[in-house]
Structure 1
Amino acid sequence: MNSNDVIWRQYYDKALSRPHHPRTAQAASLNQSDCMVAIDCGCGTGSDVDYLLDRKYQVHGFDINPVAVSLCKQRFGNHPSLHLSEASFDDFEYPEAGVIVANSSLLFAEPKKLSAIWKRISTALVKGGVFAGNFMGPDDTWATNYRSSTAPISEKQLQKMFTEFEIVRWDEQNEAGMTSLGRPKHWHSFSVTAIKR
């Protein structure tokens, strides 16, 4: 196991006890479409998957990290409403969906591919469906020279991406803090919940 795998394993061990993200609950409650399909982009240990399954969604969860997919398979077994894939943003086959969540995952997209990835996500979302997720801002510690790819984006660029949406919630975090593993870090992110029009 390389050092990157060790760090992810430590993160997932902590994440296993974490509840679903409030953005996910908000997205599910705002879904104005008849489409009860949800996509969890970068599903991690499955806390959002669990919440969405409880709300009777057909859930498609994917993660590029095989450890995450393995943990979800152990957690959910052969749940009939869950489809798990080991995939990246650009090779996942997006079904039509009423809810798409991307909590702490689009931060780590390939920066040159973010525009194309967003087009695939927004196209998969049906009218009246809801996107909820967050994006890395340019002032984040990890925006440059991080151990893996990150996709920092300016507020102006992000606003252009949501021209076909009604923004329900838009929050910016730009402050010093700690990582989940207890390391100091400057956080800069934009959290967005929006309905497709």
Structure 2
Amino acid sequence: MSTKEINEYYDSTENRAVREDLIYALSLVGEERIAIDCGCGAGSDISLLRSKGFEVYAFDVEDESINRCRKRFKGDDRIHLSKDDFSTFTYPDATLVVADASLFFCPPSQFDHVWSKISHSLSSSNGVFCGSFLGPNDTMASSDYDKEAFWPEVTVFTEDKLREIFSGFKIEKWEEHKVSGKTAQGMDHNWHIFSVIAKKI
């Protein structure tokens, strides 16, 4: 996306409503509260996590994201920000990993390694994952999707393949979303998203 589109997206999501999935995931986490926010954007999830007593490690590949979050959370020494992608980020031990609409953009060739690191970061008993994955019927998964204008590589999952990667987890919530509409840029889009909340076993 262009710099203008990135800024417009962050402007629209900076103070977005709290997602029900994340609220539910928070209720599953015990007293130790350490979270990783993968693809933190403008920081809306960081804000919620801090209000619930979490120490937050957050990363994003976009400079604009990190710059905004540094300004927004200036002086909070329990927020640790870094400009990284999924493969370069150093994952600390955590009790919660949040990856909402971000793991789509991990290249398929890197996903297994990245997922191993995410899973190992949740080594503590009952660590919780809360995130979403791209299904095969999404516009972004199609062969004619404009990868040069938006994103060069996305990782796509069928339900069977996705359930395989959660073999070491207890599924707490699983939803499949299929919706058609228009993007913020006014383009037609078919969304096919799997939302998953799972607890490490």
TM-score, length-normalised on structure 1?
Answer: 0.93
Aligned match of 2:135 in 124, 134, 137?
137
**Structure 1 unaligned spans of 5+:** none
**Structure 2 unaligned spans of 5+:** none
**1:138–1:153 Cα contact (<8 Å) kept:** yes
Are positions 1:166 and 2:164 aligned together? no
SS in 2 for 1:14: helix
How much has 1:180 moved relative to structure 2?
3.5
How much has 1:22 moved relative to structure 2?
2.2
Partner of 1:12: 10
**1:40–1:62 Cα contact (<8 Å) kept:** yes
Are positions 1:49 and 2:46 aligned together? yes
Over the aligned positions, Cα root-mean-square deviation in angstroms equals 1.4
Are positions 1:68 and 2:65 aligned together? yes
- Which of 38-47 and 16-25 deviates more? 16-25
Alpha-carbon distance in 2 for matches of 1:74, 1:31 = 28
Aligned match of 2:100 in 87, 99, 103?
103
Give the letter for the 2:188 counterpart.
P
**Which is richer in strand?**
1
**1:11–1:181 Cα contact (<8 Å) kept:** no
1:78-121 deviation digits (Å, cap 9, x = unpaired): 21110000000000000000000001100111122111111110
- Which of 115-124 and 172-181 deviates more? 172-181
Alpha-carbon distance in 1 for matches of 2:74, 2:18 = 19
**1:168–1:194 Cα contact (<8 Å) kept:** yes
1:55-95 deviation digits (Å, cap 9, x = unpaired): 11110010001101111111111211100000000000000
Alpha-carbon distance in 2 for matches of 1:137, 1:98 = 26
Alpha-carbon distance in 2 for matches of 1:16, 1:139 = 28
Aligned match of 2:161 in 157, 160, 166?
157
Are positions 1:22 and 2:20 aligned together? yes
Aligned-pair identity (%): 36
